[in-house]
Amino acid sequence: MAYTNFSFKLANLIQCCIIKRSFFLAKSVHAQTVTSGLLSEVFLCNRLIQLYSECNRLDHAISVFDSIKQPNVYSWNAIFSAACKSNDLDLARQLFDQMPERDAVSWNTIISALVRKRQEREGLDLYYGMLREGVVPTHCTFASVLRACGSLKALDDGMRCHGLSIKLGLGNNLFVGNALVGMYVKSHCVDHARRLFDEVIEPNEVSFTSIMSGFARTGSTSEAFKLFVKMHRLDICIDPVAISSVLGAFACAECKEMQFACQLIQPLIVKKGFESDQHVGNSLIDLYGKYGAMHEALLVFHSLPSLNVVSWNILIAGFGQVEESKIAMSTFGLMQKSGFEPNEVTYTSLLSACVKSRDIKSAHEMFSNIPEPSVTTWNALLSGYCQEELHKTSINLFRKMQFANVCPDRTTLVLLLSCCSEMETLEFGKEIHSISIRLMLDSDRFVASCLIDMYSNCACIDLAKKVFERMSDRDLVAWNSMLSGLTLSNLNKEAFMLFKQMKELGLTPTDYTFASIINSSSRLPSLPQGMQMQAQTMKYGHINDVYIGTTLIDMYTKCGDMESAQLFFDCMLIKNIISWNEMIHGYTQSGYCEEALDLFDRMLERDQKPDSFTLTSVLTSCSRLGSVDRAMQYFNCMTDLGVKPIIDHYACIIDLLGRAGRFKEAEKVIKDMPFKDDPIVWEVLLSACAIHNNSRLGEHAAENLLRLVPLNPSPYIILANIYSGLGRYYDAVAVRELMDRRRVVKGGGCSWVDGRAGAIQCSYGPSQDLERACVQSGA
């Protein structure tokens, strides 16, 4: 009896040592157990294993375990738990496989250890193995497995766990409920998470923090803040994690809401004594950094008693946000001098800072100094090249990435496909498509949408359709990409059918959707169809979008309804340069040139700066009206308006002056312009010379035109016509003979006549032989 009492005394002593986690006391009590001859007591050995585990001495724990002649299930669980606690997962798996009997505790321990070590897939596989062996999961099992499902975004697995937990009567368990909320939040099912949260009978700080972080992710600032207020009202413990969650929500909010958050939460932070908490401090720095309040961010940064790599990374990212790459680089230098080792996030933040500041040279230099760049850092530099439209450089960087054996991810493919779309490089686009198939990313909705854009821009609409048809999960971006591709390929009827299909599926059109479909309306051109689209934009609340408004103006002008275009233009709340340009261009194209010039004057009165496209329309209107002096007035003040004259402007002015017979002024414009080797200028001048039979200047223009475009028949024919008009028939014949000797051939003419049997094409070849071909109309 005394022996038993002493065993219990030793057990209590071991428990005290476990609480103190003292290795010195652990060795002392172990020695006492040996000298007392009680090492054969399995339950005491189990407690010693636990004691050494708490002291992080796995070697001593193994020694005790090996001394047990017949270890029981508790012995196995104790040593197995010690291996997991020491992060020796290889030993843990070995012990787990050797265990003669595995209970729920054994399974829970190994699954939890794997999930903690970010080996979520292995943890999930073991969970299914546990079910196959008939072991009933506990609330601890579900807490670990649901965490794994959230990290993997394995929604189907998570929902199966949810169903089983309800069957096992764990639906109201707080640990399971919190884990379910976290899983749904990480799987982007915040509405589902909110419903579960509302069903929790007595939510704790973990419940509130999980759902608030979900609202933070989706930018639902007001919802997160309401929960925070409720948490405070219910007197639930507000810890640094809760404060950080609500600050994270406000980091996605508008500037006014951010200021309100700081005014409200900062006093609470001081009251709770969290002002020196590293986690809260980092969240505040992040919040200020995202809104460009770097002075406040620095104050918080310098007030923290201890900093970590995360603090420095957030500060560097903040300077990147305000496009201060130089300060970000100097902060990086201070970080290294302070003894902090940069990690992948540091380098990515620095590269992003350089990219946002459009300092690609510094980004390239920084990238060159990274020891082993990850795919994230490669993507950061690639993003910078794409932003600066350095598409060939982007492709070369990708080749280097391949040579370095770095596997591309979804972001890499999306960036490269956007380069292909801009460059219209079909072969490289197909190569990226092949890589996406090999990486099983071709069905990813972001990659697939970019593939549709790429094939559409490369005039391979059939391939774009195939990608779209193979998509199992089509989101609105994919539908918009396909709709845009059909519009770009002039498949306007198909675009309308697709738009109809979208609405039938319950998808809500965006401004991008309407921009594409209205473009299709303007290309038909069908005014009733266009008016219907305007009604749809009003229905879905996009009528005030400046981009949609501009597209509607373009549609009305192309349909010739200038009255409706002007009415809509006048009603627009916000007008940008494109809106003004579309309206002025529409008047010019429809022959309302005086109205176009009046609108331009109105535009200048409203202090709206024109661009080169505006001036092209204005000078074209002057040309059609024959208003030479007015055109010269606009041309001469272009520099004052901040517009550098381009070739189109010079061509308009030379054409206008030439047709008016003001050749000296035209010659002066040509002499002063920087585009002397552009054929369009000399062709315009030569045409003007033909009107006035100006052979001297005509010969000069024809000479330059033949030098630049030797096989162009126009200068020969126009110059011959000038000579004929002056009665210089021998010269006219000489020009024609020169044309024949040089084998310059005039292109054939072509006319279309709409008949009952279809469209009749009449082609006239160089020999003036009439060639008729009846082509059945596709209409």
Tokens of 193: 């998470």
Pairwise CA distance, residues 332 & 318, whole Å: 12
- Give pLDDT, residue 584: 93
- Yes or no: say if 577 and 606 are a contact pair by the CB < 8 Å rule: no
Which stretch of 69-78, 243-252, 665-674, 720-729 has the lowest confidence by average pLDDT? 243-252
Which stretch of 195-209, 338-352, 428-442, 456-470 has the lowest confidence by average pLDDT? 195-209
**Total structural domains within the chain:** 3
- Give pLDDT, residue 718: 86
- Give pLDDT, residue 585: 92
- Give pLDDT, residue 263: 63
From 50, 65, 88, the end of a domain falls on: 88
| Neighbour tally for 246: CB within 10 Å | 28
CA 478 vs. chain centroid, Å, equals: 14
Q: Is the pLDDT score of 755 beyond 60?
A: no
Shared domain check, 776 and 718: no
- Give pLDDT, residue 15: 67
Pairwise CA distance, residues 9 & 14, whole Å: 9
In-domain check, residue 273 = no
Strands 758-764 and 770-775: antiparallel
In-domain check, residue 76 = yes
Shared domain check, 61 and 3: yes
- Give pLDDT, residue 771: 40
In-domain check, residue 96 = no
- Give pLDDT, residue 779: 35
Banded pLDDT at 772 (limits 50, 70, 90): very low
Helix (H) or strand (E) holding 372: none
- Give pLDDT, residue 777: 36
Higher pLDDT, 712 or 453: 453
- Give pLDDT, residue 597: 92
- Give pLDDT, residue 170: 86
- Yes or no: say if 400 and 432 are a contact pair by the CB < 8 Å rule: no
Shared domain check, 718 and 680: yes
Q: Is the pLDDT score of 66 beyond 70?
A: no
β partners of residue 775: 759
In-domain check, residue 558 = no
Q: Which ranges in 559-709 belong to alpha helices (H)?
A: 562-571, 577-589, 593-605, 612-625, 628-636, 647-659, 663-672, 679-692, 695-708
- Yes or no: say if 125 and 118 are a contact pair by the CB < 8 Å rule: no
DSSP 693: T
Shared domain check, 737 and 658: yes
Banded pLDDT at 28 (limits 50, 70, 90): low
Which stretch of 221-235, 467-481, 699-713 has the lowest confidence by average pLDDT? 221-235
Shared domain check, 754 and 708: no
Shared domain check, 751 and 735: no
From 33, 65, 88, the end of a domain falls on: 88
Banded pLDDT at 752 (limits 50, 70, 90): low
* Average pLDDT score over residue span 310-320: 87
In-domain check, residue 111 = no
Pairwise CA distance, residues 206 & 238, whole Å: 10
Shared domain check, 775 and 691: no
For the segment 179-196, what is each residue's pLDDT rounded down to a tens digit?
888 888 888 788 888 888
Pairwise CA distance, residues 245 & 276, whole Å: 17
In-domain check, residue 689 = yes
Provide the domain limits for residue 761: 747-779
Half-sphere exposure of 696 (CA within 13 A, CB side): 3
- Output the 3-class SS for 200-231: CCCCCHHHHHHHHHHHHHHCCHHHHHHHHHHH
Max mean pLDDT among 89-98, 208-217, 383-392 falls in 383-392
* Average pLDDT score over residue span 399-425: 89
- Give pLDDT, residue 778: 37
- Yes or no: say if 536 and 514 are a contact pair by the CB < 8 Å rule: yes
Tell which residue, 527, 539, 449, has the closest CA to residue 503: 539
Q: Is the pLDDT score of 254 beyond 90?
A: no
Tell which residue, 500, 512, 407, has the closest CA to residue 449: 512
Pairwise CA distance, residues 191 & 193, whole Å: 5
Banded pLDDT at 594 (limits 50, 70, 90): very high
Half-sphere exposure of 694 (CA within 13 A, CB side): 21
Q: Phi, psi (5° rounding) for residue 631?
A: -65, -45
Pairwise CA distance, residues 196 & 188, whole Å: 14
Higher pLDDT, 766 or 658: 658
CA 117 vs. chain centroid, Å, equals: 30
Angle between helices 360-368 and 344-356 (to 10 degrees): 160
The CATH number of whichever domain residue 680 belongs to comes to: 1.25.40
Which stretch of 65-69, 324-328, 731-735 has the lowest confidence by average pLDDT? 65-69
- Give pLDDT, residue 729: 84
Shared domain check, 736 and 753: no
Tell which residue, 206, 215, 198, 152, has the closest CA to residue 175: 206
From 88, 114, 135, the end of a domain falls on: 88
In the chain, how many H helices and how many E strands? 44, 3
Pairwise CA distance, residues 428 & 419, whole Å: 10
| Neighbour tally for 743: CB within 10 Å | 7
Q: Which ranges in 117-253 belong to alpha helices (H)?
A: 120-132, 139-152, 155-167, 174-186, 190-199, 205-218, 221-233, 240-250
Pairwise CA distance, residues 759 & 772, whole Å: 11
Higher pLDDT, 748 or 644: 644
For the segment 629-684, what is each residue's pLDDT rounded down to a tens digit?
999 999 988 888 888 888 889 989 998 998 888 989 888 988 888 877 888 888 88
Shared domain check, 49 and 3: yes
Pairwise CA distance, residues 244 & 736, whole Å: 84
For the segment 137-180, what is each residue's pLDDT rounded down to a tens digit?
888 888 888 888 888 888 888 889 888 888 888 888 888 888 88
Q: Which ranges in 388-525 belong to alpha helices (H)?
A: 391-403, 410-423, 426-438, 445-457, 461-470, 476-488, 492-504, 511-523
In-domain check, residue 253 = no
Shared domain check, 29 and 57: yes
In-domain check, residue 279 = no
Shared domain check, 694 and 704: yes
CA dihedral 735, 738, 740, 746 (to 10 degrees): -50
- Give pLDDT, residue 742: 78
For the segment 440-491, what is each residue's pLDDT rounded down to a tens digit?
888 888 899 999 999 998 889 999 999 998 888 788 888 989 998 998 888 8
- Give pLDDT, residue 776: 38
- Give pLDDT, residue 19: 65
Higher pLDDT, 557 or 87: 557
* Average pLDDT across the chain, whole number: 80
For the segment 567-583, what is each residue's pLDDT rounded down to a tens digit?
888 888 888 898 999 99
Angle between helices 309-321 and 278-290 (to 10 degrees): 10
CA dihedral 258, 262, 264, 269 (to 10 degrees): 140
Tell which residue, 538, 611, 548, has the closest CA to residue 580: 611
Shared domain check, 742 and 763: no
